[in-house]
Chain A
Amino acid sequence: MSTVERQRKRGSVTAFAAVLALTLMVLGIGFIIISLYMGGQRETKNATDAGALSVGKEVLHEPSVMLSPADNQKCFFDCTNDSINNNIIGDGKVNLNRINRVWSKALLMAINAKAASMEGNAGSGVGNAGSAASAAQDLSDALADKLTTAANLHGFFNDISTKNSTRMIGVNSSTKVRPGPGWQTSLMDRDAESNIELTGSPADNFYLPPGFNLPPSSRTQCTRTPVPGEVANTYFLKGYTPIDVLDRKFWQVPFKWNDKPHLVSSTPFNANKASAIPTTWAKPIPNAFSVDAEAKNPGATAETAMSWVLSNPRHPFKLAAPHSFLHIKVDEMKCHWYFYPVPPFKVEFGAAQTYDFNDSPKSMTGTPMPAGGVLCAMVSPPAQVIGLDIVGRSLDEVIFGPPPGNINKVEGYMVNRANEMISKPGVTITPAKLHSVLGSALTRAWLIAGEKDFYLFSKDGETLQCEPKSIAQISAPMWMPTIINNTPDGNETKIIDDAFMPGGIPLPHVPTPDPFCSPTPGVNWSWVLWDKDVYWKPGTGYNGSLGEIRVKRWSEVHTVGICNPF
Chain B
Amino acid sequence: MKVNLIKPLTFALAISTVTMANTIASAQGQEKGKSDPATAAQNLKVAKQKYDSVLTAAHVNISPQIPRNFPVPPYTSNIVSTSFINSTKGSPTATVGISTKDSPESVFQWYQTQLRASGWTLTVASPKLTAKLGKEGQFFMLDGAKEKQGIKLFCMLDQVSKGTKINITWLKNR
Interface residues of A (CB under 8 A from B): 340-349, 358, 360-361, 363, 370-371, 374-376, 385, 388, 391-392, 402-404, 444-445, 448, 497-508, 514-517, 520-523, 525, 527, 529, 558, 560, 562-566
Complex interface: chain B residues within 8 A of A360 (CB): 133
A515 near B24 (CB under 8 angstroms)?
Answer: yes
A500 near B90 (CB under 8 angstroms)?
Answer: yes
Known pairs A392-B141, A562-B50; A346 contacts B85 (CB<8 A): no
Complex interface: chain A residues within 8 A of B130 (CB): 392
Complex interface: chain A residues within 8 A of B53 (CB): 343-344
Known pairs A404-B171, A506-B83; A347 contacts B5 (CB<8 A): yes
Known pairs A388-B167, A402-B93; A520 contacts B54 (CB<8 A): no
Residue A502 contacts which of B13, B85, B159 (CB distance < 8 angstroms)? B85
Complex interface: chain B residues within 8 A of A343 (CB): 50-51, 53-54, 57
A-B contact pairs, 28 of them (CB 8 A): A342-B11, A342-B15, A347-B5, A361-B156, A374-B16, A375-B47, A376-B16, A385-B156, A385-B165, A392-B129, A392-B141, A501-B90, A501-B171, A502-B169, A503-B95, A504-B97, A505-B165, A506-B83, A506-B84, A514-B24, A516-B23, A516-B34, A517-B23, A523-B48, A525-B62, A527-B85, A560-B51, A564-B47
7 closest A-B pairs (Cβ-Cβ)?
A505-B97, A344-B57, A341-B12, A523-B51, A520-B47, A501-B93, A502-B85
A505 near B95 (CB under 8 angstroms)?
Answer: yes
- Which of B4, B56, B171 has most A Cβ within 10 Å? B4
Number of inter-chain CB pairs below 8 Å: 192
Known pairs A348-B6, A506-B85, A529-B60; A448 contacts B159 (CB<8 A): no
Interface status of B86 (Cβ within 8 A of chain A):
yes
Bound-state Cα–Cα, A540 to B47, Å: 55
- Which of B1, B15, B54, B64 has most A Cβ within 10 Å? B54
Bound-state Cα–Cα, A402 to B168, Å: 13
Bound-state Cα–Cα, A340 to B165, Å: 27
Q: Which chain A residue lies CB-closest to B141?
A: A392
Known pairs A341-B13, A500-B90, A565-B43; A505 contacts B23 (CB<8 A): no
Complex interface: chain A residues within 8 A of B83 (CB): 505-507
Complex interface: chain B residues within 8 A of A391 (CB): 133, 139, 141, 154
Residue A363 contacts which of B7, B150, B159 (CB distance < 8 angstroms)? B159
Bound-state Cα–Cα, A313 to B86, Å: 62
Complex interface: chain A residues within 8 A of B19 (CB): 374-375
Complex interface: chain A residues within 8 A of B159 (CB): 363
Q: Which chain B residue lies CB-closest to A507?
A: B83
Complex interface: chain A residues within 8 A of B107 (CB): none
B60 near A502 (CB under 8 angstroms)?
Answer: yes
A520 near B51 (CB under 8 angstroms)?
Answer: yes
- Which of A370, A371, A505, A527 has most B Cβ within 10 Å? A505
